[in-house]
Structure 1
Amino acid sequence: MPRTTAISSSSNTVFSGAETTSDEQSHFQRRPLLLGLGALTANYLPVNPLKAEEIPANYRSFVDFSDGYSYIYPSDWKDFDFRGHDSAFKDRYLQLQNVRVRFIPTQKKDLHDLGPMEEVVYNLVKHVYAAPNQRPTIYDMQERIVDGKNYYTFEYVLTSPNYSSASFATIAIGNGRYYTLIVGANERRWRRVRDKLKVVADSFKLLDI
């Protein structure tokens, strides 16, 4: 698909089925949202769109005017092909530390058409993102509104017998498409890079096309 790179510029609730140890909770300094459909208080974050001149230091912007979305990513990351995705960037040395975006057609007009946020996030993490041998844990989920468009951003860890990854995902619906941005890293590095990658997840924005 054609894409246009942009210019560079210098409370949690309980909700799920997997449990974590106290060491894990201390390591992440946050509580897991248990994977299951229990009571959940969503975090609603009305946010102003990030203007080009407000791009943080050490980040670069990517804008795809053709496919209708934009986000920022660490300026030392490089472009790469990620199968099935429209755009992707990765750390030059830690390839598992990356961001990627994909979209699929949809008849839905808004994320709320998919159902309650907690159910949508649970089904994605449990049944789409997690492989059969992985244990998923959701740590946080938030809704924000930018220019009248709704975005869900959530944090989750996928644990397998030999490897664990941690990620933020941001999803949105617009332009007749269902967009997904995922930015993640090896779970062992997560505490060091979490805040840096949250900036990427929160920057995702739809453009009208």
Structure 2
Amino acid sequence: MSTTIYSLSSVSSFSLRPRSTCSNLKFTCAIAGRSPLLSTSPHISFAVPRRQIMTALLSSYVFAQVDSLDTASALQSVGLREYIDTFDGYSFKYPKNWIQVRGANADIFFRDPFILDENLSLELSSPSSSFYKSIEDLGPPEVAGKNVLKQYLTEFMSTRLGVRREASILSTSSRIADDGKMYYQVEVNIKSYANNNELAVMPQDRVARLEWDRHYLSVLGVENNQLYVLRLQVPENVFAEEEKDLRQILDSFRVNKVIV
């Protein structure tokens, strides 16, 4: 698929107003072993008893096994946890080791505790000003994808000199979930470039460098006359490694009827 670069003026947008303001934790186990040093100096001689050597080797083996078991247990403990909001009418799964960030510009926001570029958020339109009957009110997935991209570019608009964003729609699709409702899915890539010397007079002195390269995945659903958007952000260079988990999160998203 060829890459298409979009600018802000090329697409129209829909409005989302938050109610308030595709990574798993990596574990590393390194075990270093060191054998006893036997001096060959003619002036110093150390005798290392056989029992001591065997004890040291056995201890190293035992600690290695315990450390390995701890790592395996930690890996197995990292899975997905379900988040259910009965008040606003939605649910999804997210990595157990991710933490909730309050005060973010979203109805709910989770992020990786170590890789801040990996996060998840849920936004929904205002119930008083939106009257969506179905997801098809947004048009086909391709049109919705352009609106999603416009929303991202608007949020990432920068007033810094020499900053440039490049964005492309990677894919758009629709699916019927097990709840019988249709959901749209949109994937985009956005790159941010900044000049290393934005005040330089000569163009050759203003060299653009890549600031960040991110993969964004969005799932859109409609219920309660509102538009719900679940958004995942992950660095592009780790997307392939975590794609399976990210897709499980996307597929878990559901919008539910709110009983008043």
TM-score normalized by structure 1?
A: 0.70
Equivalent positions of 1:78-97 (< 5 A) are 78-81=99-102, 83-97=104-118
Structure 1 position 82, deviation (Å): 5.3
Counterparts of 1:84 and 1:92 in 2: how far apart (Å)?
A: 18
Instruction: Quote the residue 1:154 is aligned against.
Output: 186
Please tell me whether the aligned partners of residues 79 and 88 of structure 1 are also in contact (alpha carbons under 8 angstroms): yes
SS in 2 for 1:163: strand
SS in 2 for 1:107: coil
Q: Answer yes or no: is 1:166 the counterpart of 2:215.
A: yes
Name the aligned partner's letter for residue 106 of structure 2. Answer: H
SS in 1 for 2:186: strand
Task: Render the CA deviation track for 1:123-182: whole Å, top value 9, x for unaligned.
Answer: 221x21124532112222221123232111121111111211112100111112111110
- Off by >3 Å, runs of 4+ in structure 1: none
Equivalent positions of 1:112-151 (< 5 A) are 112-125=136-149, 127-130=150-153, 131-132=156-157, 133-146=164-177, 147-151=179-183
Q: Answer yes or no: is 1:200 the counterpart of 2:232.
A: no
Please tell me whether the aligned partners of residues 184 and 197 of structure 1 are also in contact (alpha carbons under 8 angstroms): no
Change beyond 3 A, Cα 1:179–1:82: farther
Name the aligned partner's letter for residue 128 of structure 1. Answer: Q
Equivalent positions of 1:18-57 (< 5 A) are 18=5
Counterparts of 1:108 and 1:194 in 2: how far apart (Å)?
A: 31
Alpha-carbon RMSD? 2.3
Please tell me whether the aligned partners of residues 217 and 231 of structure 2 are also in contact (alpha carbons under 8 angstroms): yes
Please tell me whether the aligned partners of residues 121 and 154 of structure 1 are also in contact (alpha carbons under 8 angstroms): yes
Please tell me whether the aligned partners of residues 148 and 186 of structure 2 are also in contact (alpha carbons under 8 angstroms): no
More helix by share: 2
Please tell me whether the aligned partners of residues 136 and 156 of structure 1 are also in contact (alpha carbons under 8 angstroms): yes
Counterparts of 2:173 and 2:219 in 1: how far apart (Å)?
A: 9
Structure number with bigger Rg: 2
Number of equivalenced pairs = 161
Please tell me whether the aligned partners of residues 141 and 185 of structure 2 are also in contact (alpha carbons under 8 angstroms): no
Counterparts of 2:88 and 2:239 in 1: how far apart (Å)?
A: 30
Counterparts of 1:160 and 1:148 in 2: how far apart (Å)?
A: 38
Segments of 5+ residues of structure 2 without an aligned counterpart are 12-77, 158-163, 194-210
Task: Render the CA deviation track for 1:93-117: whole Å, top value 9, x for unaligned.
Answer: 1111111101013212111112121
More strand by share: 1
Task: Render the CA deviation track for 1:183-206: whole Å, top value 9, x for unaligned.
Answer: 121122222122211211121101
Name the aligned partner's letter for residue 129 of structure 1. Answer: Y
Name the aligned partner's letter for residue 4 of structure 2. Answer: G
Counterparts of 1:116 and 1:80 in 2: how far apart (Å)?
A: 33
Segments of 5+ residues of structure 1 without an aligned counterpart are 1-12, 20-34, 37-56
SS in 2 for 1:84: coil
Structure 1 position 88, deviation (Å): 1.4
Please tell me whether the aligned partners of residues 82 and 100 of structure 1 are also in contact (alpha carbons under 8 angstroms): no
Name the aligned partner's letter for residue 163 of structure 1. Answer: W
Name the aligned partner's letter for residue 64 of structure 1. Answer: D
Identity of aligned residues (%): 24
